[in-house]
Amino acid sequence: MTPLSPWRHLLLLDVASASTSEPVFSTGYQTETNSLVIGDDYRHGVFKALVRSKSASWLPESDDQPGPAPSPKSFLPETSDDDLKALVRDSIKPWFNDCFNGNRLHRKCKHKFKMDEIGAMPKRLIDVGVGQDPKAKLIISEDEFGQSLPQDEQVRYLILSYCWGSGNDPAKTTRANLAGRLKHIDETVLPKTIQDTIKVTRLLGFRYLWVDALCIIQSHAGDNYQDDFKAEAPKMGAYYTNAVCLISALGAPDSSTGLFVPRPAHRYPTTSCVIGFDSRTNEYIHLPPPKRTLADEFNASPLPKRGWCFQERLLAHRIIYWSRNGVFWNCVGDNATRSEFSSRCDEFATDPRISNSCVFHGVQGPSVGWGLPWEPWMDYIHEYSSKAFSFAKDRLIAVHGLGSRLASIHGGEYFGGVFSSHISWGTMWEADPKNDARKKLDYFPSWSWASCQSDLGVIITDTTKPWIECVTFGGFPAVQDPLES
């Protein structure tokens, strides 16, 4: 075995975190102190470290037992159905069972939020059917379940977060096809992401699913109908909170892509590599395969860049992320992630871009000083204000549910991106000074950060002493219709 000292330069291959189907290369070099420093892939935030071992056959340990991590399912067209059934049986259903039963770290997950605290059930749902040959149809919740249900009879449904893209028109429910879809939905014409989500819903044993394009009556060419969207959009935050679980199509840039996208991690499997031997300590130097984390998937995925998807993940109790390199689980009680490769992965729990702990685990009552809800809201808005929208007018309504949720938990009122308890801080904002491409949006209040469109986001001034006090919130337009702001 070659000693460590001659290793002056090394070319490394990393495929598991690549955002394309091609390998990603980075370099490493040896310092004068004979320690090998490995570079990172700046595009995906992948850090490479070395492991020392007395054995030349070192293998990475999983969270529960030693040995190689499980290989990802291929989801090739010829094996997709079998791969999905195995994944649901071996990973996803056990995650659900632990969470629902309050096992181990899931005690907080068992808490039930009353629907009357956070909004009514969705006006419409997709009934995915039952039996050996299930047929999907659209239902009106009030007709199906009555005007109200006792808490122990709460309707259990899944909900989808996905990129529409340019191929979502076949999914739209319109005034022209509504009557037909109340009898039957032709699944073959739906975009593949929605088809796959219906399939997952059935395999998990749930009967109902909410997808915005199908469950809200949409406008289309020749019929600019907006009434149903205006009524439903302010309630969408509650719909995501009330859902049993969010299905996140993290790796799909378009609704035609599907949940089960080709996986580079299966096409280019990785393993530990012995790259040297330290004769002083009789230890082999290993480069372990890169660890797949949800945070890495976020950096390389299209879904988090979409504005409408921001509050969806923050308001969900449980999320199943379908990425290009694996399936991940996250819930509010565990405050960690699980994947099909590993039982527990804590890195994601502290990532401020994704963690929703303050939305559900915050201290009750009004805020004092910085505190909740304002402290996390500043970070949220800096990130959210740089998100992409097909229609810029959606910038406030697409985060209305999150703001209202924080206000209901932590006290005070919310409107137009500002909390009454922190109105001085809420109006002390500026566009990121590093960005010259900023635009004023006249249809938003001039005092709201939403009125400034900036690719790098909006920065809220870090002032430590409030300058003004909110006497009344009654001078603003009605909160019930934030679309008209």
pLDDT in tens, the chain (485 residues): 444 433 333 333 333 333 343 333 333 333 333 334 344 443 343 434 555 665 655 444 444 443 444 556 667 777 788 888 988 998 899 888 888 887 767 776 765 554 444 456 899 999 999 988 999 999 999 898 876 555 555 789 999 999 999 889 999 999 999 999 999 999 999 999 999 999 999 999 999 999 999 999 998 777 888 999 999 999 999 999 889 999 999 989 999 999 987 666 666 666 667 777 777 888 777 676 666 677 778 778 899 899 999 999 888 989 999 988 788 888 876 655 677 666 555 545 445 555 565 565 443 334 434 455 667 787 788 888 888 888 888 989 999 998 888 888 777 788 888 887 777 777 777 776 665 556 778 778 888 888 887 765 677 665 556 666 667 665 444 334 555 54
Inside any domain, residue 256: yes
What type of residue sits at position 482?
A: P
Cα pseudo-dihedral 287, 68, 76, 268, rounded to 10? 10
326 and 383 share one domain: no
317 and 436 share one domain: no
Inside any domain, residue 12: no
166 and 232 share one domain: yes
Structure-token pair, residue 405: 């949720």
Counting the structural domains of the chain, the total is 2
Angle at 351 between CA 345 and CA 357, to 5 degrees: 90
Token pair 């699913």 is found at: 209
85 and 175 share one domain: yes
Task: Report the C-alpha gap between 250 and 245 in whole angstroms.
Answer: 15
403 and 354 share one domain: no
428 and 311 share one domain: no
157 and 133 share one domain: yes
310 and 377 share one domain: no
What type of residue sits at position 246?
A: L
249 and 392 share one domain: no
430 and 321 share one domain: no
The domain of 248 spans: 80-260+297-361
217 and 328 share one domain: yes
Inside any domain, residue 69: no
Domain edge (last residue) among 337, 361, 385: 361
256 and 205 share one domain: yes
Inside any domain, residue 388: yes
